[in-house]
Amino acid sequence: MSKHRYNYNWNLKDTIFTKNKGKVFSCFACGSGSTMGYKLAGFDVIGCNEIDPKMMEVYKVNHNPKYTFLDGIQNFKDRNDLPEDLYNLDILDGSPPCSSFSMMGNREKDWGKKKKFSEGKILQILDTLFFDFIDLGKKLQPKIIIAENVPGLILRNAKKYAIKILKEFDKAGYIVQYFVLNAANMGVPQERKRIFFIALRKDLSTKFLIQQDLFTQVPKINLKFNEAKIPIKDFDSGKPGNNLGYIEKYWKNTPPGVSVYNYLRITKQKPKLFSYSKANFNKPFRTILTKHNVGEFREDIPTYFHNEDLIKGGSFLCDYNFLDLKHKYLIGMSVPPVMMANIATEIYNQWLKHI
């Protein structure tokens, strides 16, 4: 018997999707990582909302959804022509763009500013999209709302946004809890920490309530995962990826598992190359980043990783159709499917099947 609930190395042709756990609609669907996870866990994902036409095409090719809405969430939440199915959801899922809160970004310098980001190439204030998503939840009233973001959302000055998120969920009629989870503890060969806001509609929560502290009751749910971590050596193809370019000069002297920045700091050199590191094949990938020429490079030869390895590190379908989008970009933008499958399975087992 496998020590992992779901296999990170999987194919569409070998997978049976039961669609018997409930209906899901995905917002900010992006590379469909969440959608694949819900489907793997047995849910019926009936459609998606996405602003990027290219991402939407990839989504359609791989999932053939019943409903697709190519629209910004600001407009989508105010539409009056949404199908009845969307008002009878078990789960409303969403991953609002998170670069404003990433610890690797500009954070406070970008808050409140319009940014032209790659998805759809439209100017938007990214840090308000989460609240548009909650507004949609208030309108549709699904049983459960799940929102994913970067852990930086609850750190330093960003805490005020997290507090507002909790208040807005409460106004929308939901009791919400948040969990910082690591994909590497769920059978994904990647150290990827993300925060998940799990909100249960108040009228459905009574039978699950426990006393969290003297003043607060929350629906009981256990989202602790302790699956064995999967090292790169377990699936490494041995194939070279993209060339390292000017980073190659640091490759030989950077020890396995160490960032180029730390190597340069220790050796008292000045370049600040935060986003580059040499892999340790005895450990999972570090967080897979979106740009093809940054991130983790191979331990044995001076190249980045091959797409075949990145797909497995992201727990994507091995026969997924990326069309003309770069594999690393799409994988780096997505919630790992196996991560989402584990979360969705626990939510079904502990809540949905008892409602």
Mean pLDDT of 324-329: 95
* Domain extents in the chain: 12-228+335-354, 232-331
Instruction: Give the model's confidence band at 111: pLDDT under 50 very low, under 70 low, under 90 confident, else very high.
Output: very low
pLDDT of res. 98: 65
Record the tokens describing residue 12, joined without a space. 């569409």
pLDDT of res. 158: 81
| DSSP conformational letter for 121 | T
Q: Are 285 and 191 in contact (CB under 8 A)?
A: yes
pLDDT(184) > 80: yes
Which residue, 237, 197, 236, is CA-closest to 218?
A: 197
Residues 166-178: tens digit of each pLDDT = 999 999 999 999 9
- Residue 67 sits at φ, ψ, to 5 deg, of -130, 135
Which residue, 284, 294, 286, is CA-closest to 326?
A: 294
pLDDT of res. 1: 37
Q: What is the DSSP string of 221-275?
A: ------PPP--GGGT----EEEE-GGGHHHHTTSPTT-BHHHHHHHTT-----TT
Instruction: Give the model's confidence band at 109: pLDDT under 50 very low, under 70 low, under 90 confident, else very high.
Output: very low
pLDDT(159) > 50: yes
pLDDT of res. 309: 98
- Name the helix (H) or strand (E) containing 58: helix 53-63
Instruction: Give the model's confidence band at 263: pLDDT under 50 very low, under 70 low, under 90 confident, else very high.
Output: confident
Whole-number percent of the chain with pLDDT over 70: 91
pLDDT(251) > 90: yes
**To which CATH superfamily is domain 12-228+335-354 assigned?**
Vaccinia Virus protein VP39 (3.40.50.150)
Mean pLDDT of 157-167: 89
Q: Are 211 and 280 in contact (CB under 8 A)?
A: no
